[in-house]
Structure 1
């Protein structure tokens, strides 16, 4: 009757909880995908950036190392122009041959006094350049680059140009001045493919578009596609200004991270569905557990009620047992006092004093209760002694005193089989033991004596000396305290002696006779 509605309710809650969890998880799943896409793009850009850094530095080094040839040629020309010396073709050829020294990617060197090409190395490398007027070149772009070289007095790089019979080249030019007057131009033609090969750019990695831009942003090498869609770039410092090497993935950034992103989104979506299902199952299970807990709680409450009633009954029984034990002990005390009327009230007064001493010492409540109870019956063994000896008014003989000393052992024998919550029998047995071993009946020393017995020993002596007896003069409390002080650490425990003196001298304790 109960299981069917509970089962249906559990299923409904499972479905509802799973749907709610999925609704909450889907935005998080989408945001996580965007975060991961950004992470992939950052890593991809860093990867391409590392590639461009290596290749860009290499390309810059390759170009600058060849431009050093042009600088060397300028040094040669400046040396001749500065002293007004003519340049001979033989001297130029020899010097240019030394500059070439087998460097790949160098096509030709030329000198153009007054802008007209006259010296060319290697000879015949480009016969069409001989006698060519660079300053008046009909091509606007070349004229503009020549004028820029004249004005800036720096190396100016032009190109790219188609080389004969094949290839792609660039031209580096620099103006030469005789004092402040233009003397002419020097030129260096570079073959670009070998330079790109040395820099590792002749065959870029698959799936990567690369482009090289000159100082003005014109496409010098590569594809225009590499300039679109936020490419990664690396600057290349050249004498003519800063060029730029750029790259981006073929097909764009989205295509570059599409596959790992789809894998991540698929995995996280599966985890989202699995999490939603687990939450739904947990919610359904919680419904079942809640009802079961309610049922068990009811049973537990009933059990606790029964247990409290049992504990109350047990407590009442313990109270009755304590009362019965108290009545029994009182009867024993009265029996002892009836047989020894001269010491009537001694055990009760000793018990009150022992309790006060134990309290002053800071003992636990349970230990204090045990010491007081033992003190109430510490002379119970005297019930077996003859009344004429107990009531004898004069001094006892040696044999009579030895008989009196047996009361400690007799008291122990009477109590040892009793099931008390405290070691009453042993305290009664040891209350005449002394710290130096001179006591009886066992001759125990120091810590061998129970603490309760050490407390009772002092209380017994002080009460006996401070309370009146009909058969002897009263020593009094002052002599009693002096006695235990003189025997402190010899017969009596120092801590017990100090506590006893404290309650009388500082706490104003009084024995009620």
Structure 2
């Protein structure tokens, strides 16, 4: 035998009922929040990609402009080397190189900024340099035997290509860093030597105006061998925009990239912050409207529950009132029936002839009162019938109305049987009318019951 189940405490039942009422609104609010979150992630991703494309396009324009300016600055200086080569070829043939070189070199220095020195190296040994001040250490330097990395290789490339070669930035003998452009001078049947110009890298960068690069972008200029000329090497580690700068014997790369990342640059954009603020306000509005709608529905459901509970209490009170009223109505009906019986006994005693001594009209009135009281007592408004009527509104009880009609029908039949065929015509007609009326009342209350009552006296039934 299993132990009886312990009843759930009232507090726990209330908590469970409250939880069941709350979980649906909470689930709807959570779904709305999830949809907004997914929408934000998708829209933010799309907007970030748009901003990245815009920033890359802007950075590409900047990189292209810088590369074009740098290429022009370098080509302008390389053109001076070519002019110097032509001058040395002519002057060395006439034997006036030492006299004319300073004047020509001064003109070259004035044509562009950033020229540190101009030199001529017959047999690849520097013999002439301008200006002499500060460049004394250059004199006597053998270009083919210079120990600095890549220096001799640059001279050999110039011999092979017969064009200008660029080396550097390289550490200079006289101190500092410089960019060396060199070209071979050819004499009759063999190389005469070489000429070179040393340029200040800072002056070239200032001419290009790398200061116009936005603060959130970094740049780097590197040679084809990977040597850094200018800028920040970190710009090469991200996803840079690269512009190629062609040189006679190679190329340089100009790289432009954000200091963080393109996505980080897009997230820091003021327009993206504006998008975040607008989406936040829109989401807050949607969440508020959803909360108000759910709260209103929850309030309406609570009001419906309260009204239903009030109606239930009112229904119970009405049923109690109807029961008490029906019970109270039985007392007058019993009193009517009792007084009708007393009146019958009194009239019988006065007449001294029993039932037959009463006048038919008195008998009909008395029996009509008794039948009415009996029918009202057995009607669904009575004590047992009221409960059935409350459970099934609009439906009469066969146990109430039909029972009262059957009782009246039986009394009328007994009156008719007591009279018999020997009774007078008036008495028989009155009994037939009462029986016919009781039969119609019974059939009206319960149509399923068989009709009868006038079959034994067809003549009276037809006269009625």
Normalised TM-score (structure 2): 0.53
Within a 5 Å distance, the mapping from 1:203-214 to structure 2 comes to 204-214=213-223
**Structure (1 or 2) with the greater helix fraction:** 2
Q: Which digits, 9 at most, give the CA deviation of each residue in 1:478-504, with x for residues without a partner?
A: xxxxxxxxxxxxxxxxxxxxxxxxxxx
Contiguous gaps of at least 5 residues in structure 1: 1-7, 290-513
**Separation in 2 of the partners of 1:248 and 1:102?**
34
Larger Rg: 2
Query: How large is the RMSD of aligned CA atoms in angstroms?
Result: 3.3
**Separation in 1 of the partners of 2:142 and 2:172?**
19
Deviation at residue 171 of structure 1 after TM alignment? 0.3
Which of residues 94, 105, 109 in structure 1 aligns to 2:103? 94
Residue in structure 2 matched with residue 278 of structure 1 by the alignment: 289
Residue in structure 2 matched with residue 69 of structure 1 by the alignment: 80
Residue in structure 2 matched with residue 38 of structure 1 by the alignment: 49
Residue in structure 2 matched with residue 176 of structure 1 by the alignment: 185
- Say whether residues 1:145 and 2:122 are aligned partners: no
Partner SS for 1:101: helix
**Separation in 2 of the partners of 1:169 and 1:201?**
18
Q: Which digits, 9 at most, give the CA deviation of each residue in 1:23-42, with x for residues without a partner?
A: 23322211111112222222
Residue in structure 1 matched with residue 394 of structure 2 by the alignment: none
**Separation in 1 of the partners of 2:117 and 2:211?**
22
Which of residues 110, 113, 120 in structure 1 aligns to 2:129? 120
**Separation in 1 of the partners of 2:188 and 2:38?**
75
Deviation at residue 170 of structure 1 after TM alignment? 0.5
Residue in structure 1 matched with residue 260 of structure 2 by the alignment: 251
Residue in structure 2 matched with residue 109 of structure 1 by the alignment: 118
Q: 1:264 to 1:165 in 2, by over 3 A?
A: farther
Partner SS for 2:126: coil
Residue in structure 1 matched with residue 329 of structure 2 by the alignment: none
Deviation at residue 21 of structure 1 after TM alignment? 2.8
Which of residues 120, 144, 151 in structure 2 aligns to 1:135? 144
Residue in structure 2 matched with residue 60 of structure 1 by the alignment: 71
Contiguous gaps of at least 5 residues in structure 2: 1-18, 301-464
**Separation in 2 of the partners of 1:111 and 1:186?**
4
**Separation in 2 of the partners of 1:138 and 1:255?**
46
- Say whether residues 1:218 and 2:227 are aligned partners: yes
Within a 5 Å distance, the mapping from 1:160-309 to structure 2 comes to 160-162=169-171, 167-178=176-187, 181-201=190-210, 204-260=213-269, 261=272, 264-265=275-276, 267-278=278-289
**Separation in 1 of the partners of 2:297 and 2:205?**
70
Q: How many residues matched?
A: 281
Is contact 1:158–1:172 with CA below 8 Å preserved after alignment? Answer: yes
Deviation at residue 16 of structure 1 after TM alignment? 4.0
**Greater relative contact order (Cα 8 A, min sep 6): structure 1 or 2?**
1
Partner SS for 2:260: coil
Q: 1:252 to 1:24 in 2, by over 3 A?
A: closer
Q: Which digits, 9 at most, give the CA deviation of each residue in 1:244-270, with x for residues without a partner?
A: 111222233344333344653454244
Normalised TM-score (structure 1): 0.49
Partner SS for 1:234: strand
Is contact 1:172–1:189 with CA below 8 Å preserved after alignment? Answer: yes
Deviation at residue 187 of structure 1 after TM alignment? 0.5
